[in-house]
Amino acid sequence: MKIGIVRNPVAGSAAARRLWPRLLAALRRQASETTILETRGAGDAARHARSLCDGGADLVIAVGGDGTIGETVDGILTSSRPETAFSFLAQGTGADFARNFSPAGDPEAMVEALLAAPVRSVDAGLMHCRGEDGAPVERHFANIASFGVPGPIVRSVNTAKRGRSMPGSLRFLYHSAREILRYRPEGVRLTLDGKITFEGPITAIAVCNGAWFGGGMHVAPDAVLDDGFFDVVLLGGAPTLNVFGLLNKLYSGAHIRDPLVRVFRARTVEAEPLGGRAALMDCDGEAPGSLPARFECLPGRLRLKSF
């Protein structure tokens, strides 16, 4: 089997990165050919994945965090061979996509389980939004795209110099608390499958293929990767104190029973800003831009070799 690896050498913790030589040795023992391409910055993972697929890889494995996983999926699905199988070895800070699976414990067992796993079709998301420079951005995603307070949170997590030694989930919690204190609800019109469903101030809206974001928050507990729909979780505009109350419940999924939260299922989601400020976006742990945005669920589009 020809395996292409897209690795982010700076993703996640130093402890997770120290496992890489063992993961690589295990992969090399079991694959006839391995090509490793390392990223240096934004966009590299998508470019590398595209070139590996175009070059005939049977399987492309992302090694890194949610950003690397999402970009790799985008590269595969925009290549000349979008049916190329995808898998991942999660080494990220938040590592939320991996929470939808149960990877085996040690590196050798993880690689063995990954290579023995069947390939199944799962949904992918396609997002269009306005980039930081105002130009249109189009990108596939594997896990979750969201906007409202998640936008500044993901920017803060990704750019902060301090706290890099904290465990990933604690780092997300710290930055979430900081940004919730600063956040003022933004007006949004939400249209689901062509029908205006909500107009008003929001704290957050998450368009979910997978179930976790924010370093372990179980934001869409009923989301299923291969059901052909997004779970859309809407947290309406609320005073800061109420948002802090919900933050605690988000880890267990208990927030969905709170009156401030509504959950919908949809195939297409459109979000437009109402008023002066356009909510900032988060897409698989990266910061692609701001509203207006459109999200399309692509049923069964990604061929995933998963644990």
Ligand X SMILES: Nc1ncnc2c1ncn2[C@@H]1O[C@H](COP(=O)(O)OP(=O)(O)OP(=O)(O)O)[C@@H](O)[C@H]1O
The residue ranges that bind ligand X (CB under 6 A) are 8-12, 39-42, 64-68, 92-95, 285-286
CA distance 86 to 19: 21
CA distance 178 to 137: 28
CA end-to-end distance (rounded Å), the chain: 18
Cβ neighbours, 10 Å, residue 303: 17
State which amino acid sits at residue 127: M
Closest separation in Å from C-beta 220 to ligand X: 17
Closer residue to ligand X (CB): 11 or 115: 11
**DSSP assignment, residue 114?**
H
CA distances from 232 to 15, 96, 130, 137, 144 (A): 34, 17, 20, 21, 10
Q: Nearest CA to 269 among 185, 196, 186?
A: 196
Closer residue to ligand X (CB): 39 or 79: 39
Cβ neighbours, 10 Å, residue 63: 31
Closer residue to ligand X (CB): 12 or 289: 12
Closest separation in Å from C-beta 125 to ligand X: 16
Closest separation in Å from C-beta 233 to ligand X: 19
Strands 144-148 and 281-283 turn out to be antiparallel
Closer residue to ligand X (CB): 141 or 183: 141
Closer residue to ligand X (CB): 10 or 260: 10
CA distance 305 to 307: 7
Closer residue to ligand X (CB): 110 or 192: 110
Closest separation in Å from C-beta 85 to ligand X: 20
Closest separation in Å from C-beta 71 to ligand X: 7
Omega before residue 118 within 30° of 0, cis: no
Closest separation in Å from C-beta 62 to ligand X: 8
SS3 36: strand
Q: For ligand X, which residue has the nearest CB?
A: 65
Closer residue to ligand X (CB): 12 or 236: 12
Contact in structure between 37 and 52 (CB atoms under 8 Å): yes
CA distance 149 to 108: 39
Largest Cα span, the chain: 57
**Residue owning tokens 């049916």:** 83
Contact in structure between 290 and 278 (CB atoms under 8 Å): yes
Closer residue to ligand X (CB): 42 or 196: 42
Closest separation in Å from C-beta 6 to ligand X: 10
Closest separation in Å from C-beta 216 to ligand X: 11
